[in-house]
Amino acid sequence: MMKGFFNRLLIIDLTSQTSVVEVLDESIAYRYLGGKGLGTHLLLERNPVGVDPLAPDAHVIYLH
């Protein structure tokens, strides 16, 4: 495991007001080292091509 990285994603659904913790595959963390790379990967993986960024089904990725 990378130092300071816990292989977890918190997925929050604002519409249903629910949240779930997902385990992130460690190989993805190594492949997309850094917040920008991982954030871009997650955004492209979870948002359909051409989705309106303001649509309810559009994902917002926040990495801290």
Domain ranges of the chain: 1-64
Q: State which amino acid sits at residue 34.
A: G
Which pair of tokens denotes residue 57? 């089904």
pLDDT in tens, 29-62: 788 777 788 888 888 888 888 889 898 888 888 8
Question: What average pLDDT does range 20-29 have in this prediction?
Answer: 88
- Indicate if the pLDDT at residue 20 is higher than 70: yes
| Residue 47 to residue 55: CA distance in whole angstroms | 11
Q: Check whether 16 has a pLDDT greater than 70.
A: yes
Coil vs helix vs strand at 32: coil
* Residue 1 pLDDT > 60: no
Decide which of 37 and 21 is more confident.
21
